[in-house]
Amino acid sequence: MFNDKTAKFLLLAAIVICVGGAFAPNWIVNQFMFGFSRALAILGLMVLWRTGLVSFGHAFYFGLGAYAVAILDSEFGVSDVFLRLLAGAVVAGFAGFLIGFIMRNYRDIFFAMLNTAISMVLFGIVVKTESLGSTDGFAISMSTILGFAPETKYPMFVIIMLVGLTAALLVNFYLKTTFGKLTTAIRDNEIRVEYLGFSVAHAIHLKYTISTILAGGAGALMAMSLGQVDPESMINWTVSGELVFVTILAGPGNVIAPFIGSLVFEILRTYAFELAPQAWQLIMGATFLTIIFFLPGGIWSLIEKLGGKKNER
Amino acid sequence: MLGGSVVEAALTILLDGLQFSSYLFIVSAGLTIIFGVMKILNVAHGSFYAWGAYTAAFFIGKFSDMGLPDALGFLIIVAAAIVVGIILGFIIEQGILKYMYERDEVLIVLATFGLFLVLEDIILIAFGTDPYFAYQPMALLDAVELGGITRDVYGLTLIGVAAIVAVGCWWLLNKTKWGTLLKAVIFDREMGISMGINVPLVYTLTFIGGAILGGLGGAYIAPTISVSPGLGTEVIVLSFAVVVVGGMGSIAGAAIGSLIIGILRAIAVHELPQVELFVVFAVMAIVLVFRPEGLFAPAKPRKI
Q: Are B53 and B279 in contact (CB under 8 A)?
A: no
Give the number of other CB atoms < 10 A from CB of residue A9.
15
Q: Rounded to whole angstroms, how far apart are CA atoms A281 and A272?
A: 8
Tell me the pLDDT tens digit for each residue of A163-179: 988 888 898 888 888 88
Contacts of A236 in chain B (CB under 8 A): 233
B206-219 burial, b at 16+ Cβ within 10 Å, e below that, comes to: bbbbbbbbbbbbbb
Give the number of other CB atoms < 10 A from CB of residue B197.
17
Q: Are B216 and B52 in contact (CB under 8 A)?
A: yes
pLDDT over threshold 90, residue B65 = no
Name the pLDDT band for B300 (thresholds 50, 70, 90).
low
Name the pLDDT band for B40 (thresholds 50, 70, 90).
confident
Say whether A236 and B280 touch across the interface (CB within 8 A). no
Q: Show pLDDT as tens, one digit a residue, over chain A (313 residues).
A: 556 788 888 888 888 888 887 788 888 888 888 888 999 999 999 988 888 888 888 999 999 999 999 998 888 878 888 889 899 999 999 999 999 998 888 888 888 889 999 999 999 888 888 788 778 888 787 877 877 877 778 888 888 888 988 888 898 888 888 887 887 888 888 888 888 888 888 888 999 999 999 999 999 999 998 888 888 888 888 889 889 989 988 888 888 889 999 999 988 888 888 888 778 888 888 988 998 888 888 888 888 888 765 544 4
Say whether A127 and B277 touch across the interface (CB within 8 A). yes
Tell me the pLDDT tens digit for each residue of B161-195: 999 999 999 898 888 888 888 888 888 888 888 88
Kind of pairing between the strands at B149-152 and B143-146: antiparallel
Say whether B117 and A106 touch across the interface (CB within 8 A). no
- Output the pLDDT for position A313: 43
- Output the pLDDT for position B234: 85
- Output the pLDDT for position A255: 86
**Domain B20-290, what architecture?**
Orthogonal Bundle (1.10)
Say whether B280 and A124 touch across the interface (CB within 8 A). yes
Kind of pairing between the strands at B132-133 and B226-227: antiparallel
Contacts of A268 in chain B (CB under 8 A): none
The partner residue sitting opposite B105, judged by closest CB among A108, A118, A293, is A108
ipTM associated with this complex: 0.86
DSSP state of B222: G
Which residues contact residue A81 at a Cβ distance below 8 angstroms, ignoring those fewer than 6 apart?
A143, A144, A145, A156, A159, A224
Say whether B115 and A285 touch across the interface (CB within 8 A). yes
Say whether A293 and B99 touch across the interface (CB within 8 A). yes
Q: Are A62 and A222 in contact (CB under 8 A)?
A: yes
What is chain A's Cα-based Rg?
Answer: 19
Min Cα–Cα distance to chain B from A122, Å: 7
CA B146 to mean position of chain CA atoms: 27
Report how far apart, in Å, the C-alpha atoms of A162 and of each of A36, A141, A201, B228 are: 10, 22, 32, 43
Min Cα–Cα distance to chain A from B42, Å: 11
- Output the pLDDT for position A300: 87
Q: What does the DSSP assignment read for B52-63?
A: HHHHHHHHHHHH
The partner residue sitting opposite A278, judged by closest CB among B125, B244, B284, is B125
Most A CBs within 10 Å, among B91, B238, B278, B291, to test the A interface: B278
Min Cα–Cα distance to chain B from A157, Å: 31
Say whether B285 and A121 touch across the interface (CB within 8 A). yes
pLDDT over threshold 80, residue B142 = no
Say whether B104 and A236 touch across the interface (CB within 8 A). no
What's the average model confidence in pLDDT over B72-82?
A: 87
Burial status of residue A260 (CB atoms within 10 A of its CB: 0-12, 13-18, 19 or more):
buried
Report how far apart, in Å, the C-alpha atoms of B265 and of each of B194, B269, B276 are: 46, 6, 6
Say whether A289 and B99 touch across the interface (CB within 8 A). no
- Output the pLDDT for position B1: 45
Contacts of A245 in chain B (CB under 8 A): 113-114
pTM score, whole prediction: 0.88
What's the average model confidence in pLDDT over B258-281?
A: 88
A49-75 burial, b at 16+ Cβ within 10 Å, e below that, comes to: bbbbbbbbbbbbbbbbbbbbbbbbbbe
- Candidates A219, A231, A228, A66; CA nearest to A135 is A231
Contacts of A293 in chain B (CB under 8 A): 99
What's the average model confidence in pLDDT over B79-101?
A: 90
Q: Are A139 and B289 in contact (CB under 8 A)?
A: no
Write the Ramachandran bin of B230: left for phi over 0, alpha for psi from -120 to 50, otherwise beta.
left
Tell me the pLDDT tens digit for each residue of B103-121: 888 888 889 999 998 998 8
Most B CBs within 10 Å, among A53, A120, A235, to test the B interface: A120
Say whether A248 and B110 touch across the interface (CB within 8 A). yes
Contacts of A280 in chain B (CB under 8 A): 121
- Output the pLDDT for position B186: 84
- Output the pLDDT for position A115: 92
Burial status of residue B77 (CB atoms within 10 A of its CB: 0-12, 13-18, 19 or more):
buried
DSSP-based three-state secondary structure for A297: coil
Most B CBs within 10 Å, among A60, A101, A248, A288, to test the B interface: A288
How confident is the prediction for chain B on average, in pLDDT?
86
* Interface residue ranges in chain A relative to chain B, Cβ cutoff 8 Å: 52, 54, 56, 102, 106, 108-110, 112-114, 116-118, 120-121, 123-125, 127-129, 236-238, 241, 244-245, 248, 278-282, 284-286, 288-289, 292-293
Tell me the pLDDT tens digit for each residue of B42-59: 999 999 999 999 999 888
The partner residue sitting opposite B120, judged by closest CB among A124, A281, A286, is A281
